[in-house]
Amino acid sequence: MARGWGGYNKVKSASSDFETKFKPGSEGSVVSLLEEEPFAAFSRHWVDLQDGKRAFICPASLEADDDDEEELACPLCDVGDCPNAPRAYINVAVLRPGERPEHAVWEFGASISEQLQMIDKSIGRRTPLTDIYILASSKGSGLNTKYHLEPLYPEDLDEFDVDELTEKQRHSFELYDEELYEIPSYSELDKIADEIA
């Protein structure tokens, strides 16, 4: 994440509306991870304001800078508002039969995170996660949605009628980074905290 409060003012704002989001369908989707680990992870506060519900990234949920281990302060946590469970964000290429690979951001919570780590543990020691493919499927809807991930090797892709991602395709994507998400300034959160306290 952007480091320190100074960096927070520099994050790009409007960009978060434009990224393509990947959601595994019930029929199963094949993706290639474009990086070994999520580029961002954080929790959000959902706050009822006069003009409706608004989400704010919780600064206390951001990974602290290596040089500055101190946890970042969050005025909303300080007034007792609980952020939601952390979500992680990773760059993927979605592979569909007869289509070009599509660059997208996959946002996920604990269940997918655990499954990815299991896959990484079982095969990642020998093969980087970026060299295999993931078959992701969902079951159910809303809060009852369950996700299932399965590792696929290049030789398994025929079964799904998709081609391996070429090195050229892989490098043609401009990966999103933490600047995709707007991190509110301390003073903005402080004002909101006053409003809801």
Q: Which residues bind Zn ion (CB under 5 A)?
A: 58, 60, 74, 76-77, 83
Query: Long-range contacts for 171-178 (Cβ within 8 Å, ≥24 apart)?
Result: 173/34, 173/91, 173/93, 173/103, 174/103, 175/34, 175/35, 175/39, 175/91, 176/19, 176/39, 176/89, 176/91, 176/105, 177/39, 177/40, 178/1, 178/2, 178/11, 178/39, 178/40
Least gap, CB of 8 to Zn ion (angstroms): 14
**Is 81 or 120 the residue whose CB approaches Zn ion more closely?**
81
Between 175 and 196, name the residue whose CB sits nearer to Zn ion: 196
Q: Which is nearer to Zn ion, 79 or 123 (CB)?
A: 79
What are the backbone angles phi and psi of residue 173, rounded to the nearest 5°?
-85, 135
Q: How far is the CB of 152 from Zn ion (least distance, A)?
A: 38
Nearer Cβ to Zn ion, position 31 or 183? 183
